[in-house]
Chains A and B, each alone.
Chain A
Amino acid sequence: MDVAFYETLLLTAKLAAWTTAILLLIGFPVAYFLAYRRFFLKPLVEALISMPLVLPPTVLGFYMLVAYSPQNAFGRFLEQNFDLRLAFSFEGVLLASVLFGLPFMIQPLQNGLISIPYSLKEASCTLGKSGFTTFLRVLVPNMRPSVITAIAMTFAHCIGEFGVVIMVGGNMPGETRVASIAIYDEVQSLNYETANRYSFVLFLVSILILTLIYSINGKKKVL
């Protein structure tokens, strides 16, 4: 039981870490674009990114499952070109998790960028600094609480994700069985003690992450 317990927790952490890392890479350019550019379809793009906040996870999971099917274009393309089947695999769960975590990463980053006075960006430009230098040396350091919030919220949300994972990945130990699914499974099998251990770990991680966010944001207010 202990091996399975740690394996599940490790898989949960692995999924959350990969999801956060991928979203961090995607999130910065998307947030930058949304913060500083105006274009016709911007409200639609923002609405699509925010959809996971209001959409039942099972709905997104269902569409992802349909998309992964070799009977459909995306699934067929992956199978024919990369011999890859995403349904009920870790990679499939990861892709769904990235899509579902988009608002948790992008919204804090976008708000962080918007909160920085535009004159700081312009000042850096007039001092001859490139867009990349301005981003790294001026923008990111001045939105540090937003970056930490984005990372922590994405990680914490991913750790507790249930609906999307069960739809796309099912309950395969070592492959797609993450902690939230294990809790459900153990309760169904009347193993309350194991369910309690999983639940306590998730509770502890969540409270630690939220305390970290509030402590960082609180410090910023004091300064």
Chain B
Amino acid sequence: MLEIDIKHSMFTSEGKTYLEISAGIEAHELVCLFGHSGAGKTTLLRILAGLIKPDGGRIKFGDTVWFDSEKKVNIPPQKRNVGFMFQDYALFPNMSVEKNIRFAQKVKDPDAVESLLFLFGLETLRNQNSAQLSGGQRQRVALARALAAKPAILMLDEPLSALDIEMRLALQEEILKVHRMLDTITLLVSHDVGEAMNLASSVIYIKNGKVLSRGKPSDVFNQCISPENVRFLNSVKFSNLDFPAF
């Protein structure tokens, strides 16, 4: 279980605001951190990964305290065993597809590399440089690399935002496959309602740094139909074509 109780000041286009999040995430959940741009979703994910130190609070994963401002505990990202997929995928341009995956392994295991290349359909691209890949291919390499490290928790920062709708739908399947394979917590940052509906078992709706609503995707989106939210939800990109229009 991941227990989050943090406070952090952040600067958005609307000025200084405070991220104040208290939430518990059960094992095996695929949770979507949903909200407007600047709501604090990515900041929260980066705090959980150890890439940003929050101003205060406590983060506990299983029996391990990752961060505790009172006890001055702050485990570095290297020791959190997090599989983090960046919005720009952050593939290493000096390495081929295969080397990107191999680099992520804590213990060298050529068989595991072969399995990942096969699983994500990357066998023919193994010697390609990451700069030469398409958006969808890069996404698959980034997922394979995140898996190669055998992470205890998977964090995906808007992994599909740069892709077209067809590719999004195809790669949503890949994300689900990875989540089931890891059988652990997956946190997905998204501002796409369809994506949240298709993938997430639970949604944390963040607005201005606070949790506005938490629960099943259908419940959260039904609860949040205020005139303002209707405008927001209508303005976001729907990847699920069957999702009813507001």
Contacts and interface: CB of A to CB of B under 8 A. Distances in A.
A223 interface: yes
A53 interface: no
B104 interface: yes
B3 interface: no
A124 B82 CA distance: 11
A141 B100 CA distance: 13
A137 B92 CA distance: 9
Q: Which interface class (under 10, 10 to 19, 20 to 34, 35 or more) fits B? A: 20 to 34
Residue from B78, B79, B87, B103 whose CB has the most chain A CB atoms within 10 Å: B78
Interface string A133-150: 000011001100000000
Contacts of B106: 128
Contacts of A142: 92-94
Contacts of B131: 223
Contacts of A138: 92, 94
Contacts of A128: 78-79, 81, 106, 149
Interface string A106-145: 0000000000010110111111111000000110011000
B51 interface: yes
Contacts of A141: 94
Contacts of A117: 88, 90
B11 to A, nearest CB: 15
B77 A126 contact: yes
B83 to A, nearest CB: 7
A120 B81 CA distance: 17
Given A117-B88, A137-B103, A127 B94 contact: no
Given A122-B51, A142-B92, A223-B131, A127 B86 contact: no
B134 to A, nearest CB: 17
A76 to B, nearest CB: 45
Contact of A122 (B79, B86, B104): B86
B78 A120 contact: no
A125 B78 contact: yes
A126 B51 contact: yes
Contact of B83 (A119, A120, A125, A126): A126
Interface string B69-87: 0000000111111111011
B200 interface: no
A138 to B, nearest CB: 6
A127 B104 contact: yes
DSSP class of A's interface residues: helix, strand, loop or mixed? helix
Nearest to A122: B51
Nearest to B132: A223
Residue from A119, A122, A127, A130 whose CB has the most chain B CB atoms within 10 Å: A127
Given A128-B106, A142-B92, A123 B84 contact: yes
Contacts of A120: 90, 92-93
B93 A127 contact: no
Contacts of A127: 103-104, 145, 149
B139 to A, nearest CB: 14
Contact of A129 (B50, B51, B78, B93): B78
Contacts of B90: 117, 119-120, 122-123
Contacts of A129: 78, 103
B88 A122 contact: no
A55 B148 CA distance: 52
B203 interface: no
B42 to A, nearest CB: 12
Contacts of B87: 119
Contacts of B103: 127, 129, 137
Residue from B79, B87, B88 whose CB has the most chain A CB atoms within 10 Å: B88
Shortest beta-carbon contacts, A-B, top 9 = A123-B90, A141-B94, A119-B90, A126-B84, A125-B77, A119-B86, A127-B104, A128-B78, A126-B77
25 contacts: A119-B90, A120-B90, A120-B92, A122-B51, A122-B84, A122-B86, A122-B90, A123-B86, A123-B90, A123-B92, A125-B51, A125-B76, A126-B49, A126-B50, A126-B77, A126-B80, A126-B84, A128-B78, A128-B81, A128-B106, A129-B103, A137-B103, A142-B92, A142-B94, A223-B131
Interface of A: 117, 119-120, 122-130, 137-138, 141-142, 223
Given A123-B84, A127-B104, 13 more contacts: A119-B86, A119-B90, A120-B93, A122-B51, A122-B86, A123-B86, A124-B92, A125-B76, A126-B80, A126-B82, A129-B78, A129-B103, A142-B93
